[in-house]
């Protein structure tokens, strides 16, 4: 699920902007030589000078990817066994014309963009059975199911109310922008804001908050864009949570949503109606290096395989399981998963796909989430813990850090967990590709995950003999530790050690990993 950084009240949070803007390429830089908490990728390439590579395929399971972007089109995976647009499954993998990947969210009637939350879908299904049922006549397993329904209903109605309150809050902010622009000849600018005459106390408060954001380096157009995107996302969340999500899905995609074993459905439209998130993620990993266009991604010898399975709303377990299997079967050795949710009714089929990836030596890298939650106390899905209790060893769970050392080093939005999150990686103010040959700063564990996936791909590119489990172990072993205390996400002043926030107690670092493999970091 795509997360927007807006809070359920009058204001946009300044949490992401607690520090001045970072250098555009900071995620590639080094804590040691550049004094920013990037990945040390540029140093790693110096260390690797002269060493040969082997192409690595990284699958990006996401909202969609703009495969024609100027900084990505040369690194998009091509299915050599498929002839484009001939309407035939040439390679007989079950997917017709999957030349550059696959979408499990499209069909003959269009493409899914907005979806209900998983909680809403569960509530809708259970309501059909229990809303008008005579509950005094329930027997056996139905009694337990009804009790679960009551919990689901209470939680859903509370969540929906919170969403509506959040929408009302951001609407007030949006209305303020309109008034401020009207007083300034239709333009939102710093000077216009400074000279704006507030109409009420609420205006005064918003005006002060916006001034603070501008002081921290946020441009008026960036702020307006976040407001617009956030408003649209919340509006559709409220709207689609009230609709029959399963019927809409079946009409658009054409599959049977109740058949969890169904695999071959969808279309080859990998961009979809909203490819911002997936394109940004792909650029972090693989934007063409040193081409004098846009940005430098992390990996040189890499191909991105777009797999569309994540809508604006909660992804479906069936789609995620099938997306993992598609990626594995078509040669990906690393899968990036920048999405998550807090309910997983068909977790068993996702678990089976995760185990399938393990059997094929594929490394799975997953964003920890953007709710400032302790993952040790509240699991999100998908995750490495199978229903059997087994922990799969080919999984990396990633939290987000900002660029500058100090108490605000950890992204205040990032989920964390002493036993559930493996390490942290750059995820605040990350500049990368977005559709239509554009570039944008975005923040989230959604950015930290592909940063880590990029480092893992770099390792597998130069050291292809390493197994998925060995790459994970290497990245955990070679993190940059941080001994000072940092502010715990979701709090204003509570400081903790990094070992309280993740298993490794540190930050992913490509150069440390490379030096370890080459025997260069041994103590003299």
Domains of the chain: 19-110+264-517 (3.40.50.200), 118-240 (no CATH)
Q: What is the pLDDT of residue 202?
A: 86
pLDDT value at residue 10: 35
What per-residue confidence (pLDDT) applies to 212? 76
Separation in Å, CA 81 to CA 77, 78, 88, 92, 414: 12, 9, 11, 9, 41
Count of Cβ atoms closer than 10 Å to residue 214 Cβ = 17
State residue 88's pLDDT score: 97
- What is the residue whose two structure tokens read 């260390």? 47
The radius of gyration of the chain's CA atoms, rounded to the nearest angstrom, is 23
Tens-binned pLDDT, residue by residue, of the chain (524 aa): 544 443 333 334 444 444 456 789 999 999 999 999 999 999 999 999 999 999 999 999 999 999 999 999 999 999 999 999 999 999 999 999 999 999 999 999 999 999 999 999 999 999 999 988 898 899 999 999 999 999 999 999 999 999 999 899 889 888 888 888 888 888 888 888 778 888 888 888 888 887 777 776 777 887 788 788 889 889 999 999 999 999 999 999 999 999 999 999 999 999 999 999 999 999 999 999 999 999 999 999 999 999 999 999 999 999 999 999 999 999 999 999 999 999 999 999 999 999 999 999 999 999 999 999 999 999 999 999 999 999 999 999 999 999 988 999 999 999 999 999 999 999 999 999 999 999 999 999 999 999 999 999 999 999 999 999 999 999 999 999 999 999 999 998 999 999 999 999 999 999 999 999 999 865 43
Count helices and strands in the chain by DSSP H and E runs: 13, 15
For the record, the structure tokens of 458 come out as 């770099």
Element spanning 400, H or E: strand 395-401
- 106-107 and 334-337 beta bridge pairing: unpaired
Cβ-contact 353, 324 below 8 angstroms:
yes
Return the pLDDT at 20: 58
Q: Give me the pLDDT at residue 192, please.
A: 83
Q: Write the CB contacts of 497 (distance below 8 Å, at least 6 apart in sequence).
A: 483, 485, 486, 505
What is the predicted pLDDT for the residue at 5?
42
pTM: 0.93
Q: Could you tell me the two tokens for 154?
A: 């209470």
Q: Are strands 56-62 and 302-308 parallel, antiparallel or unpaired?
A: parallel
């Amino acid at each position: 699920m795509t997360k927007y950084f807006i809070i359920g009240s009058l204001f946009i949070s300044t949490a992401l902007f607690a520090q001045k803007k970072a250098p555009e390429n900071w995620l590639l830089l080094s804590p040691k030589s550049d004094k920013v908490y990037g990945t040390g990728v540029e140093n790693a390439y110096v260390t690797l000078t002269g060493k040969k590579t082997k192409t690595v395929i990284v699958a990006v399971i996401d909202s969609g990817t703009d495969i024609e972007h100027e900084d990505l089109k040369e690194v998009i995976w091509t299915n050599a066994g498929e002839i484009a647009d001939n309407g035939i499954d040439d390679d007989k993998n079950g997917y017709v014309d999957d030349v550059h990947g696959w979408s499990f969210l499209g069909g003959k009637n269009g493409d899914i963009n907005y979806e209900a939350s998983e909680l809403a879908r569960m509530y809708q299904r259970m309501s059909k059975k229990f809303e008008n049922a005579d509950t005094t006549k329930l027997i056996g397993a139905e009694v337990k199911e009804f009790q679960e329904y009551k919990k689901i209903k209470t939680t859903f109605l509370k969540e929906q109310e919170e969403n509506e309150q959040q929408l009302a809050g951001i609407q007030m902010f949006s209305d303020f922008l309109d008034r401020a622009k009207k007083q300034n000849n239709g333009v939102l600018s710093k000077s216009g804001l400074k000279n704006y005459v507030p109409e009420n106390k609420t205006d005064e408060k918003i005006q002060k908050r916006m001034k603070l954001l501008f002081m921290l380096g946020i441009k008026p157009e960036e702020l307006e864009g976040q407001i617009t995107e956030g408003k649209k996302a919340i509006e559709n969340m409220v709207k689609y949570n009230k609709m029959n999500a399963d019927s809409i899905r079946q009409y658009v995609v054409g599959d049977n949503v109740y058949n969890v074993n169904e695999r071959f459905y969808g279309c080859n439209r990998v961009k979809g109606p909203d490819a911002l998130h997936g394109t940004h993620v792909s650029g972090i990993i693989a934007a063409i290096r040193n081409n004098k266009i846009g940005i430098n991604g992390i990996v040189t010898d890499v191909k991105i395989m777009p797999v569309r399975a994540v809508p604006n709303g909660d992804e479906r377990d069936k789609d995620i399981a099938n997306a993992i299997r598609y990626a594995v079967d078509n040669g990906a050795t690393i899968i990036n998963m920048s999405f998550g949710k807090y309910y997983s009714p068909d977790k068993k089929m996702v678990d089976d796909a995760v185990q399938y990836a393990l059997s094929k030596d594929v490394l799975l890298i997953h964003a920890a989430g953007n709710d400032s939650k302790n993952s040790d106390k509240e699991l999100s899905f998908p995750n490495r813990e199978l229903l059997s209790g087994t922990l799969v060893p080919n999984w990396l769970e990633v939290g987000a850090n900002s660029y500058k050392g100090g108490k605000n080093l950890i992204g205040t939005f990032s989920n964390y967990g002493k036993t559930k999150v493996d390490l942290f990686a750059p995820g605040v103010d990350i500049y990368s590709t977005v559709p239509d040959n554009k570039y944008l700063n975005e923040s989230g564990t959604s950015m930290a995950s592909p940063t880590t996936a990029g480092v893992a791909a770099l390792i597998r590119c130069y050291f292809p003999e390493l197994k998925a489990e060995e790459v994970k172990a290497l990245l955990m072993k070679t993190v940059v530790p941080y001994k000072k205390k940092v502010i715990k996400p979701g709090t204003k002043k509570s400081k903790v050690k990094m070992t309280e926030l993740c298993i490794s107690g540190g930050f992913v670092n490509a150069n440390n990993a490379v030096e370890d493999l080459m025997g260069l970091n041994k103590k003299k």
